[in-house]
Structure 1
């Protein structure tokens, strides 16, 4: 399943980059985050609790940041599993500066199994975009509070 998502920030891309690479910010802003700990450079152990529509449950997995081209882009690789199924995602995150801010673009290729696969791509795409929206809005809020 292919997911495309855009989010606009009223900040310079260097600022957004630093927030998206900050472990403490990620712990606070990832929806349902129960655990987010670095286990080696650019590799994190994560546990998320999700309760959105038909997608309910806890997921444990690993998040890797790779191909980092500061402050322009990076690849986020996610492998996780939980009672609702397994998820394997590869997302390219790109930050494009505009005249008055930055547009973040996320293009992800996501594979799911179990209940997640049975609810269908249409529902999963909507749930994924909702989760991404919550995350990026929380990052923007964190930036406002730190300013």
Structure 2
């Protein structure tokens, strides 16, 4: 069974890449995760309980990153085993800069299921797979938003002193106290407002 799609995230490409390559973040995107172990930068293992009809399918899933080109492409081999099912999947994603801003992810997966669960047929399995994919993408979007919000944005550039800062004070003409060289503007007027981190919640998918 082949599935594919696209999703646009309101975040820079590097931020999306960082989440996709962070085991802790990815564990939060997977449905029914009971445990998640990181062996090294390329190999992860998860024990999951996948919702399936009226019950749940428990599986041990091994994930191995087989290819990557940071920050644009990665391919993973995924194998799983559980009571009544064997999973073998190849999946990949490609990240590009979206024309309207943000990052576009094109993804594809070749999913093979064996055993009694696999014999249910694509007509039964396709809606279940679509539901799980939707869950993963929505959870991924949430993780990316949280990552973006946690990264401080760059504050405004200091514009320097006002244009008339070095100007000589006007000579005293003897009229009231205006010739004392005291500016009516307070120094605080030139202090830029601090800018906090920016969070985008737009979902263009």
Fold match by TM threshold 0.5: yes
What pairs up with 1:13-52 in 2 under 5 angstroms?
13-52=13-52
| Cα deviation code 1:104-129 (max 9, x no counterpart) | 12211111111321221133233222
Counterpart of 1:57?
A: 57
> What is the correspondence of 1:1-147 to structure 2 with a 5 Å cutoff?
1-53=1-53, 56-98=56-98, 99-146=100-147, 147=149
Out of 37-46 and 84-93, give the one that drifted further: 37-46
Counterparts in 2 of 1:106 and 1:84: CA distance versus 1, 3 Å: farther
Q: Is the 8 A contact 2:94 2:107 kept in 1?
A: yes
Give 1 or 2: higher helix fraction. Answer: 1
Over 3 Å counting, the alpha-carbon distance change for 1:13 and 1:94 in structure 2 is same
CA RMSD of aligned residues (A): 1.7
Greater strand content:
1
Moved runs in structure 1, 4+ residues, more than 4 A? none
TM-score under structure 1 normalisation?
Answer: 0.90
Q: What is the CA-CA distance between 1:6 and the residue it aligns to?
A: 2.0
Q: Is the 8 A contact 1:3 1:125 kept in 2?
A: no
Q: Which runs of 5+ in 1 are unaligned?
A: none
Preserved contact between residue 11 and residue 145 of structure 2 (Cα < 8 Å): no
Q: Which has the higher contact order (CA 8 A, sep 6+)?
A: 1
Using the size of structure 2 for normalisation, the TM-score is 0.66
